[in-house]
Amino acid sequence: MNMQTILIAVLSLLSGIGVFLVACSMMSSNLEAAGSSKLNSLFAKTSDNKLLGVGIGAAATAAIQSSGAITVMVIGFVNVGILTLKQAASIIFGANIGTTITGQIVALGMSGSGGISTTILFSAFAGVGAFLIAFAKNPKFKTLGGILAGFGMLFIGLNIMSSSMETFAQDQMVIQFLARIQNVFLLVLLGALLTAIVQSSSVVTSVVITMVVARLITIDQGIYLTMGSNIGSCVVALIAGLSGGVNAKRTSIIHLLFNTIGVAVFLTIILVMNAVLPGEYSIGNLFRQLFPSAPQLQLAMFHTIFNVLTTVFMLPFIDQLVAFVERLIPEQSSSNEAVTKMFYLDENMLGTPVVAIGQLKREIIHMSEIAITNYYRSLNMITALDFSDLEKFQAEEEELNYLNKELVNYVVKLSDNTLGKRDREYLNTTLRSIADLERIGDYAENITEYAQSLKASDEKLTTKAVNDVSYLKQLIESLYHKAMDAYSKVSLKALDDAQEIEEEVDEFTDKMEEGHIKRLTEGVCSARTSEQFLELCSNSERIADHLINVAETIKKLKIKD
């Protein structure tokens, strides 16, 4: 084989890997978009039940065809406190099982006459998907087109890789070189390094399967490379964990330890078996006998069985693993932590935009709770002239400003992702909602300043004014609950209720102003007190408007009860 042929084979291999990677990404993003509600409901069911966590991890990974995406998403959830380390560990265990589905798909595609006919059949889905993307009007059909196109491209990439492997298989120098790599630990290390570079265990496993089918390497060599790829797949999680908090780092270490221990235990068993039993009882021969005349299935089944047995072995020790990692990476106290992070969102979630959308909604609702609570504090200050909560108020106001800035930045980043129509419509409303909630905080701050002004002038509101403010608070509290009920559940009925209460707020603040002007003319209260009270009424009425603005964003989603 001359250099030109070798160069063409290498370039073909790179082309095949590239197409395969793009196909995996396309399938993952479109499957994620199609199953966003199911994916969110899966994680909502997460509990301390280990088997349930494993099932959720396996199902979620199989659904979006990316263990890396699920693991990074789990790290994000742990980082913001939604999942415990124990829950995260069980989901990661399951993700390792779910990721083996790609190998099974590849093995299926290489079945048939000459290992090529099924591949061509499945490759045709790329054309079908492309037509749907280009000509379909319904977004659901476009998403389906993306899934089919990705699925078809998966086998196009596989076919290109297989062709390059067949070219290499004709060169005795290549065969002899690969045949010399028999050191078990070297093969595991090589598999780990290749996966770390490509950042996809699915790609490495698929390449290894094509090498086994082309007889470039033996099934035993393929098994060790595949085991190494399990360790290399932890690189994505480690990178994500480094950018997060203590629990994010712990989660990435749990992933690394789980995969490393699994490989170490299996490797020990295999080496002992090879030393004690004759050569015909090697792990490779075992799978040859189980799945004769199907080398692609031999390696794919090993990958699945290996990950299932590793999970079965490690699951009883999940508590000990979590405890060890907690000792390995101790807590680091930080008095400013609450102000300098979001509660439900994490940068790692950007890799799974449909989940990030759900978490964004939770973060906005959390922001609304901070804003309305500060409003209640401000009313207490101006009516009772009690400033014991002033320091807490100021800290929460800083947090509102922080969330305002960070959420806007997050929405901008999230908008760069491929989203379904409903998610994109929701995302388009969020910037207005964030601004509305930040303004509520500003009005609450104004009322606090009015209270401080009254305190400085040694004045206070009349008993009637205090009673009016108390009733106004009840109205706005009812409005808040109805508005956020409408926002969180996309309920038009709750929106109608909120709008009725908002009209009551308008009418009552008008009466408050009229009553206060009457008291002013009667000399019951001073001009300074009157000024502060009227501003309170005006600010409260605007707060009600902002709450309605947030609730009314659901109209743009075009969803009815």
Burial of residue 464 (CB within 10 Å: 0-12, 13-18, 19+) is: middle
Average pLDDT of the chain is 84
For residue 454, CA distances in Å to 258, 312, 468, 528 come to 62, 68, 18, 8
Is the pLDDT at 205 greater than 80, yes or no? Answer: yes
- Residue 508 makes CB contacts below 8 A (sequence gap 6+) with 468, 471, 472, 475
Q: What percent of the chain has pLDDT over 70?
A: 90
Q: What would the pLDDT profile of 164-186 be if each residue is shown by its tens digit?
A: 777 776 767 777 877 788 899 99
Q: What would the pLDDT profile of 247-296 be if each residue is shown by its tens digit?
A: 888 999 999 999 999 999 999 988 888 777 766 667 888 888 888 878 88
| Among the ranges given (68-72, 229-233, 467-471, 522-526), the one the predictor scored with the smallest mean pLDDT | 522-526
Is the pLDDT at 388 greater than 80, yes or no? Answer: yes
* 322-348 CB burial, b ≥16 within 10 A, e <16: beebeeebeeeeeeeeeeebbbbbbbb
pLDDT higher at 158 or 533: 533
Q: How does DSSP classify residue 66?
A: -
What are the residue boundaries of the structural domains of the chain, listed by start? 3-328, 347-557
The pLDDT assigned to 115 comes to 44
Q: CATH top-level class for 347-557?
A: mainly alpha
Is the pLDDT at 398 greater than 70, yes or no? Answer: yes
The pLDDT assigned to 339 comes to 44
Q: What would the pLDDT profile of 78-120 be if each residue is shown by its tens digit?
A: 877 778 889 889 999 999 998 888 888 888 777 655 444 567 7
Q: What would the pLDDT profile of 405-464 be if each residue is shown by its tens digit?
A: 999 999 998 887 667 677 888 888 999 999 999 999 999 999 999 999 888 888 888 888
Token reading at 392: 């807490």
Q: What would the pLDDT profile of 447-481 be if each residue is shown by its tens digit?
A: 999 999 888 888 888 888 899 999 999 999 999 99
Return the beta strands (E) in 151-259 as ranges. Answer: none
Is the pLDDT at 523 greater than 90, yes or no? Answer: no
Give the 3-state secondary structure of 400-448.
HHHHHHHHHHHHHHHCCCCCCHHHHHHHHHHHHHHHHHHHHHHHHHHHH
- Work out the pLDDT band at 44, boundaries 50, 70, 90: low
Total-model pTM: 0.73
| Among the ranges given (4-18, 260-274, 324-338, 547-561), the one the predictor scored with the smallest mean pLDDT | 324-338
Is the pLDDT at 70 greater than 70, yes or no? Answer: yes
Q: What would the pLDDT profile of 140-162 be if each residue is shown by its tens digit?
A: 788 888 888 888 888 888 778 87
Long-range contact set of residues 364-367: C-beta below 8 Å, sequence gap at least 24:
364/407, 364/430, 364/433, 364/434, 364/437, 364/487, 365/484, 365/487, 365/488, 367/400, 367/403, 367/404, 367/407, 367/434, 367/437
Is the pLDDT at 396 greater than 50, yes or no? Answer: yes
Nearest CA to 497 out of 515, 478, 512 is that of 478
The pLDDT assigned to 336 comes to 44
Is the pLDDT at 45 greater than 70, yes or no? Answer: no
Alpha-carbon span 435 to 509, nearest angstrom:
24
